[in-house]
Amino acid sequence: MVACRLRPRYSLSNKMLYNTRGLAIKYIKYSESSVIATIYTELFGMQSYFINGVRTQKAKIKINALQPLSILDLVVYHKDKKKLNRIKELRLNPFLSIPNSIYKTSLTLFLAEIIQKSIKEEEPNSNLFEFLIGSMRYLDMQESSFSNFHILFLVKLTRFLGFYPQVSSTNQNNFFDMENGIFLAKKEEHSHFMNLEESSLLSLLLTTSYDNQDKLKIETFKRKAFLLKMIDYYTVHLSFSQEIVSHKILEEALY
């Protein structure tokens, strides 16, 4: 199935039918057999879809296709400004390793929660979409060296959310100001700062690619502390209405 660029297949009852790729974020049960799925799509940004009968044995769309951060090929009915659209066809592009690893599934659960709370736009963002898809494919291909993946993902994602830290050759030995996204020689009056060790790690991650993340030797307790600081950084800029909770599951799996 090839994704089109805002080119409808045909019209049905004033709803246009489109091919698009998507990334499953979450779903909630609706009635005995149906769900409402949140999917980040290539063509329409973050969308909600009603899927009827998905929780039955004879369902054409299987519930396992909606696991967090699954990569999907979709045919969807879409009407602008409609809060709940429908899916006509769905095909899962299955991962090789993620479903069989408790560590990786815990990671995807956490990252899906971050994505859901961070991205609200109902409009296309091709660079962001390709980043998310590429990140998940990278994680799926890794056999062992991915302990730093989630913190590096959080750092990289900020570039698309509008609060990517200012990169400077003088970042080292400075405190990171989370309110303003800059490194400073001394702390100011507000409390949203990383300490020197956390700031140094952030500076290092800003220049690290996924392919080189396995070379970072970070002690477990430091990685855990930095993860909490990154969640704080997101909260400062996005004002999460609810607390991030899935990192606790991630801690049990990874730490």
What number of other Cβ atoms are within 10 A of residue 30's Cβ? 16
Query: pLDDT tens digits for 74-103?
Result: 999 998 888 899 999 999 999 999 999 999
Residue, of 191 and 209, whose pLDDT is higher: 209
Model pTM greater than 0.85? Answer: yes
Query: pLDDT tens digits for 193-250?
Result: 999 999 999 999 999 999 999 889 999 999 999 999 999 999 999 987 677 877 777 7
Say what the pLDDT of residue 6 is: 43
What number of other Cβ atoms are within 10 A of residue 135's Cβ? 19
User: CA-CA distance, 37 to 39, in Å (whole number)?
Assistant: 6
Contact assessment for residue 45 and residue 119, using Cβ atoms and an 8 Å cutoff: yes
Beta strands in the chain (DSSP E): 10-12, 15-30, 34-41, 45-51, 71-78, 85-93, 175-177, 182-184
